[in-house]
Amino acid sequence: MAVLPLKYVGEAVLRRKADKVAQVDKPLARLLDDMVETMYAANGIGLAGPQIGVSRRILVVDAGEGPIQLVNPRIVDQNGRQMGTEGCLSIPAIYGEVERWKEIVVKGLNAEGEPVIYEADGLLSVVFQHEIDHLDGQLFTDLAVGLIDAEAIERDHEEDEEEEEE
């Protein structure tokens, strides 16, 4: 397995609708394994194909129950609404509040090409929605309210501390 380079906001692949996968094969299964390793190396809980420069409908998530690999995922049912803070590996240090479905049902294929269904709520629901948005060329910042630049806050805090020391 390998850690793959991430793509960052401003790169065209993040704004393109990803292509549907026609066939699940061994190279794709290896890519999904590499995506899991990349997600963990970046301290993430989700990663979509476009975030590694691959414009295909693939994603990996781990919201605390172990890794899930999905090919051609789609939301087939949803219920309720929830607000939560989100960030993104492709948009470092930026966070914002996003409204999402509270409960969803996701269908897709696993790394062996077998049909799978996930009923998700809470964090897993949010992560699936966030990553599926990536497959449609949408970023969380398109939906977020109250964006926060964590690096700017840290710089301001450091400047305040320096002024207090003088």
- Catalytic sites, residue numbers: 131
Compute the distance between CA of residue 36 and CA of residue 132 in angstroms, rounded to an integer. Answer: 16
Structure-token pair, residue 103: 């409960």
Q: How far apart are CA 128 and CA 75, in angstroms?
A: 9
Residue 33 burial (C-beta neighbours within 10 Å; 0-12, 13-18, 19+): middle
CB 48 within 8 A of CB 59: yes
